[in-house]
């Protein structure tokens, strides 16, 4: 008779999501001295996976890649959800918590092109493929001449679109390319202080039920403290800004010993208007620093700027 699994992981079915779930599976098996097959991976199709005909920002924004996994958690069908932290909604459902973060991967965005060596080398009026309104806004701020073309899909789909000539270049998260063994596709890396990444980009988050002490104990050994500090700052910022897929927000955390410096910006979708600021303080105050910076950015932007993201 087959024994019950030690843990059940809920994940999306994309190659990147599976790679991340398998990494968590391996780390848990090593940490607890059990075979990998004792930790089950269950693939869950999310709203974001089903939505292929329009940008995510038009269909509810953040949370589209997590809410079905969260529903399975709430129903007790899985014990933990493994997520790309940048895809999580600003506020988790009641009763769910982020219990651990793996050590953060490269936070930078990668410039990928088969024809041009850098953003600066793109010719006037070149087509840049992206369905991220943050990346589009940052690119238009730097290069208002560019034409932004829709570019939904997983990493391979986007690379295939690039090869088919749908766009002259695209931007992808360096972390995802690294986890898929495709770092060789990177043409150039963007400076993360010039082009601030998405809040929580590059961090794998493990979500569990808040009252599940057993799972908390099992996954807690995987938590990377410095990553948890950085994500606490960036998610507090996001929550204060009420960030969604319709709000272009960039953030970058620098940790130096016991200090934390958070830099963030909010932009108009066309990149013409943006507000940027930084805060610095004790790493133990990361969440407070995130809230403080979010409030400062909202005050600087004013109600007229904020109104364009409502509705």
CATH number of 225-311: 3.30.160.40
Q: Give the span between the Cα atoms of 10 and 169, in whole angstroms.
A: 33
Instruction: Tell me which of 3.40.50.300, 3.50.50.60, 3.40.190.10, 3.40.1190.20 is the CATH number of domain 1-102+203-223.
Output: 3.40.190.10
Topology match between the domains 1-102+203-223 and 225-311: no
CB < 8 Å & 24+ apart, contacts of 61-66: 61/244, 61/245, 61/246, 62/87, 62/88, 62/89, 62/90, 62/243, 62/244, 62/245, 63/87, 63/88, 63/89, 64/245, 65/12, 66/207
CATH number of 109-189: 3.40.190.10
Strand partners, 98: 207
Query: Which residues have a catalytic role annotated?
Result: 87
Per-residue pLDDT of the chain (311 residues; tens, 9 = 90+): 457 899 999 999 999 999 999 999 999 999 999 999 999 999 998 766 556 555 555 555 567 778 899 999 999 999 999 999 999 999 999 999 999 999 999 999 999 999 999 999 999 999 999 989 999 999 999 999 999 999 888 888 999 999 999 999 999 999 999 999 999 999 999 999 999 999 999 999 999 999 999 999 999 999 999 999 999 999 999 999 986 557 899 999 999 989 999 999 999 999 999 999 999 999 999 999 999 999 999 999 998 887 776 64
pTM metric for this prediction:
0.92
- Domain ranges for the chain: 1-102+203-223, 109-189, 225-311
Q: Give 290: exposed, middle or buried? Use CB within 10 Å, 0-12, 13-18, 19+.
A: buried
């Amino acid at each position: 008779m087959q024994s019950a699994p030690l843990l059940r992981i809920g994940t999306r079915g994309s190659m990147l999501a599976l790679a991340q779930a398998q990494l968590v599976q391996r780390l848990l098996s090593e940490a607890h001295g059990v075979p990998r097959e004792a930790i089950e991976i269950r693939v869950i199709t999310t709203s974001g996976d089903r939505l292929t005909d329009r940008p995510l920002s038009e269909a509810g924004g953040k949370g589209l890649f997590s809410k079905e996994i969260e529903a399975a958690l709430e129903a007790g069908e899985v014990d933990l959800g493994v997520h790309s932290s940048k895809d999580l909604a600003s506020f988790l459902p009641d009763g769910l918590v982020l219990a651990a973060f793996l050590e953060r991967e490269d936070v930078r965005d990668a410039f990928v092109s088969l024809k041009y060596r850098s953003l600066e080398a793109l010719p006037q009026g070149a087509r840049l493929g992206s369905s991220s309104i943050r990346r589009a806004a940052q690119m238009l701020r730097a290069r208002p001449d560019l034409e932004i073309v829709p570019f939904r899909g997983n990493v391979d789909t986007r690379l295939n679109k690039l090869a088919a000539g749908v766009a002259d270049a695209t931007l992808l998260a360096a972390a995802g390319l690294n986890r898929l063994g495709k770092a060789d596709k990177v043409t150039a890396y963007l400076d993360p202080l010039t082009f601030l990444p998405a809040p929580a980009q590059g961090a794998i988050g493990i979500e569990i039920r808040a009252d599940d002490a057993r799972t908390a104990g099992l996954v807690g050994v995987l938590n990377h403290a410095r990553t948890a500090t950085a994500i606490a700052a960036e998610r507090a910022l996001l929550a204060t800004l009420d960030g969604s897929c319709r709000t272009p927000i960039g953030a970058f955390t620098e940790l130096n010993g016991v200090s934390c410096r958070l830099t963030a910006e909010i932009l108009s979708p066309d990149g013409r208007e943006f507000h940027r600021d930084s805060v610095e303080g004790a790493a133990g105050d990361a969440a407070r620093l995130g809230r403080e910076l979010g409030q400062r950015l909202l005050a600087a932007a004013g109600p007229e700027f904020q109104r364009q993201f409502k509705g």
